[in-house]
């Protein structure tokens, strides 16, 4: 029965240690902005240290050498305590993220929305550029180049078609320069990749890396669009247009990453949970004295040995009886 209790306590201790290590792993991944390898290393080290120290503490408590056993318990107990104090930082960090899960999900959805709207924002930018250029060229045609005769000659002196046809060709050329077909196909592929991670939660370990990937993709698109808008800058009738800008996503994404990586004060729930886990991890140590050590003493009691004085008295009686037999036999 006692061995059964000890084994059951060991199973509970291992399960709690694994759950605790998983929460530490998640907290490290979010704290270090998606560094999964570092989280795995810390979790594996934590499991190895705690298991080894608990085993040594159990043996130290069960030993008959009390002084040596007390030193072992104190030393390895201190190692476990230090390991749990250090690991409680990412442990508490993940608990804080869980408490703000609704806010984080809303912020993530907002970042995702801004990421998917960049193509639409640039398309609107191109349409605005086209409308402004068309309006400028129409005014140039109406005024016959009164304010800018050189530009009037450059635009409308080209052979072929009416002035309206020439304006349409220039607008079409401007659109192809700002939004080439290759870029349109690339935008469709980016939108498909974004949809694959649209449903994320705090419990998903891939969430930080997905956010980083999304941020990298959006920044790449913004830079591409900005460079294209600068190359088209100075086009005939398009002199006053500003380069493309898209800051909504970057501002929202900075806010989201700050929520995920900034470590705050631990909550009461996380402190209580860490202490409970610490207690359950040491459950075999609590039971080892009354089960293993006490069992050893019971086994010793089940095989009693005779006391020395009793053995000596028994041997003396045997020798005296043999002497009396000899006396009777030989008539001493």
Secondary structure of residue 235 in the 3-state scheme:
coil
* Phi, psi at 28, each rounded to 5°: -65, -40
Question: Residue 46: left (phi > 0), alpha (psi -120 to 50), or beta?
Answer: alpha
At residue 143, does pLDDT exceed 60? yes
Compute the distance between CA of residue 46 and CA of residue 48 in angstroms, rounded to an integer. 6
Q: In this structure, are residues 247 and 226 in contact, taking their beta carbons and an 8 Å threshold?
A: no
Q: For 75-126, how does the pLDDT look when each residue is reduced to its tens digit (9 = 90+)? A: 888 898 899 899 999 999 999 999 899 999 889 888 888 888 888 888 898 8
4 CB-contact burial (10 Å; exposed 0-12 / middle 13-18 / buried 19+): exposed
pLDDT at 177: 83
Radius of gyration of the chain (CA): 41
pLDDT at 58: 83
pLDDT at 264: 84
pLDDT at 197: 61
pLDDT at 7: 78
Mean pLDDT of 10-14: 90
* Most confident stretch, 22-31, 69-78, 244-253: 22-31
Compute the distance between CA of residue 62 and CA of residue 321 in angstroms, rounded to an integer. 48
Mean pLDDT of 314-326: 58
How many Cβ atoms from other residues are within 10 Å of residue 179's Cβ? 22
Pull the structure tokens for residue 244: 């493309």
Long-range own/partner contacts, residues 124-127 (CB < 8 A, 24 or more apart):
125/225, 125/229, 125/244, 126/175, 126/178, 126/179
Over pLDDT 70: what percentage of the chain? Answer: 73
Q: In this structure, are residues 96 and 270 in contact, taking their beta carbons and an 8 Å threshold?
A: yes
Higher pLDDT, 167 or 35: 35
Compute the distance between CA of residue 268 and CA of residue 178 in angstroms, rounded to an integer. 55
Compute the distance between CA of residue 12 and CA of residue 276 in angstroms, rounded to an integer. 12
Q: For 273-308, how does the pLDDT look when each residue is reduced to its tens digit (9 = 90+)? A: 999 998 899 888 887 754 344 444 444 444 444 444
pLDDT tier, 266 (very low <50, low <70, confident <90, very high otherwise): confident
């Amino acid at each position: 029965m006692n061995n059964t209790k000890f084994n059951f306590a060991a199973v509970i201790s291992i399960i709690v240690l694994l759950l605790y290590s998983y929460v530490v792993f998640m907290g490290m991944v979010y704290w270090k902005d998606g560094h999964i390898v570092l989280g795995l290393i810390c979790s594996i080290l934590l499991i190895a240290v705690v298991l080894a120290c608990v085993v040594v503490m159990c043996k130290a408590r069960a030993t008959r050498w009390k002084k040596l056993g007390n030193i072992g318990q104190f030393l390895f107990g201190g190692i476990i305590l230090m390991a749990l104090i250090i690991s409680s930082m990412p442990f508490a960090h993940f608990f804080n993220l869980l408490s703000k899960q609704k806010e984080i999900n809303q912020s993530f959805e907002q970042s995702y929305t801004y990421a998917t709207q960049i193509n639409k924002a640039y398309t609107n930018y191109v349409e605005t550029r086209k409308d402004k250029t068309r309006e400028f060229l129409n005014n140039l045609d109406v005024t016959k180049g009164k304010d800018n005769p050189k530009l009037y000659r450059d635009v409308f002196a080209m052979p072929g078609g009416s002035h309206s046809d020439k304006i349409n060709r220039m607008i079409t050329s401007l659109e192809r320069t700002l939004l080439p077909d290759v870029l349109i196909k690339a935008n469709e592929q980016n939108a498909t990749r974004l949809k694959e991670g649209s449903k994320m939660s705090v419990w998903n370990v891939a969430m930080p890396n997905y956010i980083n990937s999304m941020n990298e993709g959006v920044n790449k698109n913004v830079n591409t669009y900005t460079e294209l808008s600068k190359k088209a800058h100075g086009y005939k009738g398009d002199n006053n247009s500003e380069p493309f800008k898209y800051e909504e996503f970057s501002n929202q994404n900075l806010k989201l990453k700050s929520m995920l990586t900034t470590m705050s004060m631990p909550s009461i729930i996380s402190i209580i949970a860490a202490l409970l886990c610490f207690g359950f991890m040491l459950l075999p140590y609590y039971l080892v004295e009354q089960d293993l050590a006490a069992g050893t003493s019971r086994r010793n009691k089940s095989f009693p040995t005779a006391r020395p004085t009793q053995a000596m008295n028994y041997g003396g009686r045997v020798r005296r009886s043999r002497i009396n037999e000899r006396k009777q036999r030989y008539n001493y």
